[in-house]
Amino acid sequence: MIKMLFRKRGSLLSARLAQFFGVSAQQLPIRARGFSSFDLPNLQLAIQAVTRERGGTPETIGYLKSMTMFSNSFRDLLSTGGYDPAVVGPVQYRQVETGVGEELSCVEEGIFLINLPVGKVAALLRQDQMKGSLQLEVTSTNEGLASDFILWVRDAIARLNVYRGKVLSLEGKQEQGRCTSHEIRFHRLPEVNREQIILPAEVLRVLERNTIGFFKNAQKLLDSGRSVKRGLLLFGKPGTGKTFTARWLAQATPGLTVLVMSGEQLWLIRECCQLARMLAPSLVIMEDVDLIASARDESRHPMYQVTLHQLLNEMDGIEAPAPILFLLTTNRPDAIEPAIASRPGRIDQAIEYPLPDADCRRQLIELYSRGLVLEVRDIDTIVARTEGASPAFIQEMLRKAALFAAEEPSSDMLRVTDEHCQAALRELLFSGGELTRRLLGFSTEG
């Protein structure tokens, strides 16, 4: 009686597949492959592409299984033993982000019935809750076709990957020390041009050679048997432009995949590096890397120990057929563990970001006064008074000077004068106290 009531919910899934293949599907061989949970949109596009490119006709069906059925593998879903065999049901879809403001409707739990000129395949796409991954299981009357179909899907993912060439961050959930799910976030960085990077000429040359030049000449390096994995450390006082430079580099090489990692995500370093390998050429940005060392010293939590261990291993051992650059930043190079700071294979080049000299401060004043009418008669005095200031400090000085100018009756254009700049400096250097100076990177040393 229970079995008959269950069947009223829909036709048996095993019967539907027998109808599709013309033979019982219960004895057909099954081929399976696991995929990362963030590959859901890639699998959707790849299966559609394989079907279309190989002249197939598709149909998608869903299924319902009882609460007593522990697994939703193809083998268990096709079983007719017991009281609760699986029946045909609705397809389960999920909207997945594929870019900033872009989404794709993806089959999360369902079966693709595909009639190809070379034969028929049934492809089950399901979640593996235990592993936090996706499983693609394929069955066919032609065992070789099932294996080929999985290979075709893998090749299509490599061609159509929705994450390639975009700015990404990786998020995840942890339960009892293990990652249970991944999610990729897309970002649109503020536009930064080369002319906005104000550095001493030699520092800028070294920076460009080890970043833009590295990606530009990667094929020559590969052809000569050189490694195309590099580690670059940018260090200097707060506000000297390290993060700003990273944003520029993320946009300076067309087609580059950028992965941005903050302290909260560094426990996902292994997954991040897997993405970097898969989506190369890649730039992996790790800001304030000294926080990893600090966290390791100050905490006995296994998460922090594993994070540093994985960071070292991934930077040391990652190899890919396309270039990968690890870009690390820190305000405290002395706090970085010797294993990162000095051992070969981790960091190939360290670049110090100095406080701007007089010429750079003059350029910064010109840069950050754009959009204002700068009526400063004695620019040399402003340049001299900002000795020891970081780019962030000079930017805030001009913003505050513009605020003083806005308080005066004038035309629509803000006219910033010597008096406005001097008032801004007084407020920043004296009224704000030592804390404001530290926050904006103003140094009184030397």
Please state which CATH number belongs to domain 167-353: 3.40.50.300
Domain residue limits, the chain: 2-160, 167-353, 358-439
Distance CA 119, CA 114 (A): 9
Confidence of residue 342 (pLDDT cuts 50, 70, 90): low
* Percent of all residues in the chain with a pLDDT value above 90, rounded to a whole number: 61
The strand pair at 229-236 and 349-353 is best described as parallel
Please compute the mean of the pLDDT values over residues 246-272 and round it to a whole number. 87
CA-wise closest residue to 31 among 93, 106, 123, 167: 123
AA letter at 42: N
pLDDT for residue 310:
65
Name which of 60-74, 152-166, 215-229, 375-389 the model is least confident about. Answer: 60-74
- Residue 440: is its pLDDT beyond 50? yes
The tokens describing 154, both together, are 């893998």
Predicted confidence band of residue 71 (pLDDT cuts 50, 70, 90): confident
The pLDDT score that the predictor gives to residue 3 is 44
pLDDT of residue 180: 54
Angle made by CA atoms 136, 31, 10, in degrees to the nearest 5: 65
What is the pLDDT, as a whole number, of residue 341? Answer: 62
Report which residue type is found at 44.
Q
Q: How many C-alpha atoms does 387 have within 13 Å on its Cβ side? A: 8
**pLDDT grade for 264, boundaries at 50, 70 and 90:** low
Does residue 8 register a pLDDT over 80?
no
In the predicted structure, residue 244 carries a pLDDT above the cut 80: yes
Q: Of 2.60.40.1120, 1.10.375.10, 1.10.8.60, 1.25.40.10, which CATH number belongs to 358-439?
A: 1.10.8.60
**pLDDT number for residue 307:** 60
Greater confidence (243 vs 342) lies with 243
pLDDT at 5: 42
Confidence (pLDDT) at 7: 44
How many CB atoms neighbour CB 348 within 10 A?
A: 16
pLDDT band at 84; cut points 50, 70, 90: confident
The pLDDT score that the predictor gives to residue 247 is 96
- pLDDT confidence of residue 372: 92
Contact status, residue 275 vs residue 168, Cβ threshold 8 Å: yes
Number of neighbours of residue 302 by Cβ within 10 angstroms: 10
Residues 115-140 have pLDDT tens digits of 999 999 999 999 987 777 899 999 99
Q: What separation, in Å, do the N-terminal and C-terminal C-alpha atoms of the chain show?
A: 90
pLDDT at 2: 38
Q: Locate tokens 């235990």: which residue?
A: 130
Asked if residue 56 lies in contact with residue 120, where contact means CB atoms within 8 angstroms, the answer is no
3-state helix/strand/coil string of the chain: CHHHHHHCCCCEHHHHHHHHHCCCHHHCCEEEEEECHHHHHHHHHHHHHHHHHCCCEEEEEEEECCCCCCCCCHHHHCCCCCCCCCEEECCEEEEEEEECCEEEEEEEEEEEEEEECCEEEEEEEEEECCCCEEEEEEEECCHHHHHHHHHHHHHHHHHHCCCCCCEEEEEEEEECCEEEEEEEEEECCCCCCHHHCCCCHHHHHHHHHHCHHHHHCHHHHHHCCCCCEEEEEEEECCCCCHHHHHHHHHHHCCCCEEEEECHHHHHHHHHHHHHHHHHCCEEEEECCCHHHHHHHHHCCCHHHHHHHHHHHHHHHHCCCCCCEEEEEEECCHHHCCHHHHCCCCCCCEEEEECCCCHHHHHHHHHHHCCCCEEECCCHHHHHHHCCCCCHHHHHHHHHHHHHHHHCCCCCCCCEEEHHHHHHHHHHHHHHCHHHHHHHCCCCCCC
Spatial distance between the Cα atoms of 382 and 422, rounded to a whole number of angstroms:
8
The rounded mean pLDDT for the chain is 86
- CA-wise closest residue to 125 among 55, 64, 34, 38: 34
- What predicted TM-score, i.e. pTM, was given to this entire model? 0.85
Would you place residue 17 in the very low, low, confident or very high pLDDT band (cuts 50, 70, 90)?
Answer: very high
What is residue 288's predicted lDDT score, i.e. its pLDDT?
A: 84
Considering the chain, what percentage of its residues have pLDDT values greater than 70? Answer: 83
Look up residue 231 and give its two tokens: 């580690």
The whole-angstrom separation of Cα 7 and Cα 66 is 11
Task: Please report the pLDDT score of residue 4 as a whole number.
Answer: 44
pLDDT, one tens digit per residue, over 371-411 is 999 999 999 999 999 999 999 999 999 999 999 999 988 66
- Burial string for 353-374 (b: 16+ CB within 10 Å, else e) reads bebbeeebbbbbbebbbeebeb
Amino acid code (one letter) for 418: D
156 pLDDT exceeds 70?
Answer: yes
What is the pLDDT at residue 291? 74
Q: Which of the four pLDDT bands, split at 50, 70 and 90, describes residue 10?
A: low
| Of 394 and 67, the one with more pLDDT | 394
